[in-house]
């Protein structure tokens, strides 16, 4: 898919017209002349789907169903961030067993999404295969292990939500129905096995050679008290800056409409690109990991500030161990709640909510009218926050590319982008409705 064109020896372009082993449709383009980077773009050409427009005039629970459809890989993240925004607007607090259930559901999504990325999308880059299926010819055990881990995550979402993709049970305030104790207990065996298998896989993945590349990142992650941030959190922490309330995130972060993209790019107000996702969460919150995950981190020699994006595969493995270990704890301590959801009433209000999607911070804001219907919506997904950072990384890599064979250099660019676990389907749906008001 790549080719060299342009002028003489000192001018090179690297591009791939349809990136593979990523979610959604994107391409990239890097143009280097006389050692200087003229252009580095991640282009998002996935068709726009206009979600913020569709949720206008809908009831909050309908919005939870609708925004799930933004992403087939991380629907729970969308359902939960939206629910939290409405709960903030209406002053709803989740009773303890329901809060734990939401975290359990979200652990399921981390497990399936991380396992998909680690074993099926990313690992083939390190081992030199075009796909997990081809990798299975020589590494069958590893691929089967990955599939079993992924299945344990999906089984968790199915038990709590009805199905793994676009679950039907989550709603504002909790769930339509809470699972029985027996339903959850039946999952424990597979979760325990998946935990051991993920630990084993992490030890292997940590030995894989990664290209050497360590940019200077500004890390951004949600903060949820003493818990590793997953499904909740009221503050956002930013390297070298003051923490920000979730309700004020749009005062600190700014989105730009760049001509080559159907998505908006987010940066800090001073123009700084930032990184969200597994590496940012680990950097800010490593001490909050489950003891099983913390122990594994020490064992494989992973530091909390792993600055090499190619090594995010190891961080994803450690987070998967955390999610599995925590899921087992929640299952063991589960008592059925009196009601599956907190009671609430819609009113005219504005609410913001955030959660940590597998690939990073996912922020929602809704304005609800006196009729209880949504009047305005804004959604900032992780990939549009990471997009400017990805382009900076491509620029940073460019000097080294010139010394490489052209095909290998192009492949390295694609691997860098893949390491971010971009969700391009997510990133395209964001209409800047402020333009209408302006």
Partner 1 sequence: MGAGSEGSASGAGAKVRLGVFKLASCDGCQLQLLSCEDELLALTEHVEIVSFAEATSRPDDGGPLDLTLVEGSVSTEAQREHLQEVRARSRFLVTIGACATAGGIQALRNGRDVGELLRVVYAQPAYVDTLAESTPVADHVPVDFSLRGCPIDKGQLLELIGALLAGRKPAIRDESVCMECKRSGQVCVMVAKGEACLGPVTHAGCGALCPTFGRGCYGCFGPKEGAQVAALGARFEAEGMDAETRRRRFKLFTGWAPAFREESER
Interface with partner 1 (CB under 8 A):
1, 18-25, 46-51, 53-54, 57-58, 62, 65-66, 69-73, 75, 116, 120, 124, 130-134, 136, 140, 143-144, 147-148, 150-151, 154, 162-166, 168-169, 175-177, 257, 259-260, 262, 340, 425, 431-433, 435-436
State the Cα–Cα distance between residues 272 and 389, nearest whole angstrom: 9
Choice between 61 and 306, CB closer to partner 1: 61
State the Cα–Cα distance between residues 31 and 391, nearest whole angstrom: 12
Choice between 259 and 271, CB closer to partner 1: 259
Choice between 125 and 224, CB closer to partner 1: 125
Choice between 46 and 393, CB closer to partner 1: 46
First vs last Cα of the chain: how many Å apart?
A: 41
Query: CB 115 → partner 1: shortest distance, Å?
Result: 9
Q: Is the dihedral of CA 106, 110, 113, 116 positive or negative?
A: negative
- Those residues whose C-beta lies under 8 Å from the C-beta of residue 135, and which sit 6 or more positions away, are 123, 124, 127, 129, 142, 143
Cβ-contact 428, 258 below 8 angstroms: no
Query: CB 372 → partner 1: shortest distance, Å?
Result: 11
Choice between 62 and 329, CB closer to partner 1: 62
Query: CB 389 → partner 1: shortest distance, Å?
Result: 22
Q: Count CA atoms within 13 Å of residue 101 on its CB side.
A: 32
Query: CB 22 → partner 1: shortest distance, Å?
Result: 7
For the chain, what's the residue count?
438
Query: CB 338 → partner 1: shortest distance, Å?
Result: 15
Task: Count Cβ neighbours within 10 Å for each residue of 264-288 and write b for 16 or more, e otherwise.
Answer: bbbbbeeeebbbbbbbbbbbbbbeb
Choice between 25 and 39, CB closer to partner 1: 25
Query: CB 23 → partner 1: shortest distance, Å?
Result: 5
Label the pairing between strands 170-171 and 36-44. Answer: unpaired
State the Cα–Cα distance between residues 393 and 126, nearest whole angstrom: 19
Choice between 33 and 256, CB closer to partner 1: 256
State the Cα–Cα distance between residues 362 and 108, nearest whole angstrom: 17
- Those residues whose C-beta lies under 8 Å from the C-beta of residue 65, and which sit 6 or more positions away, are 166, 168
Which residue do the tokens 């299926």 mark?
133
Choice between 254 and 432, CB closer to partner 1: 432
Label the pairing between strands 36-44 and 26-33. Answer: antiparallel
Choice between 2 and 239, CB closer to partner 1: 2
Choice between 260 and 304, CB closer to partner 1: 260
Query: CB 395 → partner 1: shortest distance, Å?
Result: 22
Query: CB 435 → partner 1: shortest distance, Å?
Result: 6
Query: CB 125 → partner 1: shortest distance, Å?
Result: 9
- Those residues whose C-beta lies under 8 Å from the C-beta of residue 125, and which sit 6 or more positions away, are 415, 418
Query: CB 414 → partner 1: shortest distance, Å?
Result: 8
Q: Is the dihedral of CA 200, 206, 30, 390 positive or negative?
A: positive
- Those residues whose C-beta lies under 8 Å from the C-beta of residue 284, and which sit 6 or more positions away, are 219, 221, 223, 237, 239
């Amino acid at each position: 898919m790549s080719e060299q064109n342009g002028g003489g020896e000192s001018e090179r372009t690297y591009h791939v017209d349809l990136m593979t082993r990523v979610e959604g449709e994107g391409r990239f383009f890097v143009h280097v002349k006389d050692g200087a980077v003229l252009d580095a773009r991640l282009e998002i050409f996935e068709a726009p789907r206009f979600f913020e427009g569709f949720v206008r005039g809908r009831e909050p629970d309908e919005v939870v169903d609708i925004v799930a459809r933004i992403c087939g890989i991380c629907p729970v993240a969308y359902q939960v961030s939206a629910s939290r925004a409405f709960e903030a607007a209406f002053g709803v607090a989740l009773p303890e067993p329901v809060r734990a259930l939401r975290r359990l559901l979200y652990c399921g999504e981390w497990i399936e999404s991380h396992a998909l990325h680690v074993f099926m999308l990313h690992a083939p880059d390190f081992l030199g295969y075009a796909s997990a299926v081809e990798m299975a010819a020589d590494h069958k055990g590893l691929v089967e292990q990955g599939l079993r881990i992924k299945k344990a995550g999906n089984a968790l979402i199915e038990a709590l939500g009805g199905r793994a993709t676009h679950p039907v049970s989550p709603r504002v305030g909790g769930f339509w129905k809470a699972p029985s104790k027996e339903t959850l207990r039946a999952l424990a065996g597979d979760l325990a096995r998946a935990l051991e298998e993920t630990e084993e896989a992490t030890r292997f993945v940590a030995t894989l050679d990664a290209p050497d590349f360590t940019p200077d990142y500004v890390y951004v992650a949600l903060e949820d008290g003493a818990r590793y941030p997953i499904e909740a959190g009221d503050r956002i922490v930013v390297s070298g800056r003051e923490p920000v309330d979730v309700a004020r995130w749009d005062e600190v972060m700014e989105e730009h409409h760049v001509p080559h993209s159907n998505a908006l790019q987010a940066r800090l107000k001073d123009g700084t690109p930032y990184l969200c996702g597994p590496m940012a969460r680990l950097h800010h919150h490593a001490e909050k990991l489950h003891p099983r995950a913390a122990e594994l981190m020490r064992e494989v020699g992973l530091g909390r500030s792993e600055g090499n994006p190619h090594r995010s595969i190891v961080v994803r493995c450690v987070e998967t161990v955390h999610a599995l270990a925590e899921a087992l704890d929640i299952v063991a301590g589960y008592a059925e709640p009196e009601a599956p959801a907190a009671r609430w009433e819609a009113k005219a209000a504005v609410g913001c909510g955030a959660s940590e999607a597998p690939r990073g911070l996912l922020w929602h804001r809704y304005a609800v009218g006196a009729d209880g219907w949504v009047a305005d919506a804004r959604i900032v997904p992780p990939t549009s926050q990471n997009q400017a950072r990805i382009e900076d990384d491509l620029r940073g890599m460019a000097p080294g590319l010139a010394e490489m064979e052209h095909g290998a250099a192009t492949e390295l660019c694609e691997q860098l982008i893949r390491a971010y676990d971009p969700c391009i389907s997510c990133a395209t749906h964001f209409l800047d409705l402020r333009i209408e008001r302006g």
